[in-house]
Amino acid sequence: MATKVAVCQVPDIREDMKASLGWIEKFTGQAETAAVSLICFPECFLQGYLTEKRLAEKYAVDLASAIFKTILKQLATYKPVIVFGLIEKDDAALFNTAVVIKEGVLLGFRPVLNLSHEDTGVVRAVIEVRITPERGGGFNRLAERISKFDEVESCYLMSGGYDLLVFVNGASLQKVAAFVSEKLSTIEGVLSTATHFMLRSYKEHGFLLGGKVEETERLKVAP
């Protein structure tokens, strides 16, 4: 049986969640009448596209809060699955998050972008590391030591031309380069490193990110 899906492009509403919910209810009601099973609204729709951090912090919603429970209750009478974006607050971090709701129940959510990182200009890199295995311990001791650095997000033992694949974060290209040259490469047992900076994400954890990218949007890494 075919599934009907609706996508809504609605007015740009900012700093007024009540008005945004009104639009969600209006179009979800129309979608239900038309036997639509899934209706989607734009990202950040609930609070609007707030570019100032102070406004994002003011209107951000914790998914465990009473405010969000009220939103779920307000949408409980609608049968279609509803997907919309909001600015989520998780402790001190802010995210652009997509939520999936069915008859007032939160089925799932997906943080798409960490807004806290946008202000700090976080740079991500992948580093191929060749190390010397130790007698009796193999790669474990060095891998565990490298994993303890705050800059390291993930560390994997690999097959092939290198031993460890290390994902790191830094405030800038220079900070990541400094981490590699001053902390990582100087560890006894590290033979070589090859650093690859992430310029843009197209797909993460099974989710496609963004739309069509023009070649002119490629980030410049060289000095």
Residue 86 domain-assigned (yes or no): yes
Q: Report how many domains make up the chain.
A: 2
Residue 155 domain-assigned (yes or no): yes
| Predicted local distance difference test score (pLDDT) of residue 131 | 96
Is 112:100 a contact under the CB 8 Å cutoff? no
Between CA 201 and CA 209 the distance in angstroms is: 7
Residue 94 domain-assigned (yes or no): yes
In the listed set 118, 142, 163, which residue is the last one of a domain according to the structure?
Answer: 118
Q: Are residues 91 and 142 in the same domain?
A: no
The structure tokens listed for 117 are 């990182």
Query: From the CB of residue 124, how many other CB atoms can be counted at a distance below 10 Å?
Result: 16
In three-state secondary structure terms, 215 is helix
In the listed set 101, 118, 135, which residue is the last one of a domain according to the structure?
Answer: 118
Residue 78 domain-assigned (yes or no): yes
Q: Are residues 51 and 127 in the same domain?
A: no
Q: Are residues 66 and 140 in the same domain?
A: no
Is 176:170 a contact under the CB 8 Å cutoff? yes
Q: Are residues 66 and 168 in the same domain?
A: no
Q: Are residues 111 and 130 in the same domain?
A: no
| CATH number for the domain that contains residue 12 | 3.60.110.10
| CATH number for the domain that contains residue 129 | 3.30.70.920
Q: Are residues 181 and 167 in the same domain?
A: yes
| Predicted local distance difference test score (pLDDT) of residue 216 | 46
Between CA 28 and CA 76 the distance in angstroms is: 11
Is 155:203 a contact under the CB 8 Å cutoff? no
Q: Are residues 164 and 176 in the same domain?
A: yes
Q: Mean pLDDT by 10-residue block, N- to C-terminus, for the chain (223 residues)? A: 83 87 94 94 76 84 95 96 92 86 94 62 88 88 95 95 94 83 92 88 74 49 47
Q: Are residues 112 and 51 in the same domain?
A: yes
Residue 213 domain-assigned (yes or no): no
Which structural domain, as residue segments, surrounds residue 59? 5-118
* Model pTM score: 0.55
Q: Are residues 114 and 174 in the same domain?
A: no
Q: Are residues 102 and 175 in the same domain?
A: no
Of 107, 115, 69, 106, whose CA–CA distance to 88 is shortest?
Answer: 115
| Predicted local distance difference test score (pLDDT) of residue 78 | 96
Residue 152 domain-assigned (yes or no): yes
Residue 73 domain-assigned (yes or no): yes
Residue 95 domain-assigned (yes or no): yes
Q: Are residues 150 and 109 in the same domain?
A: no
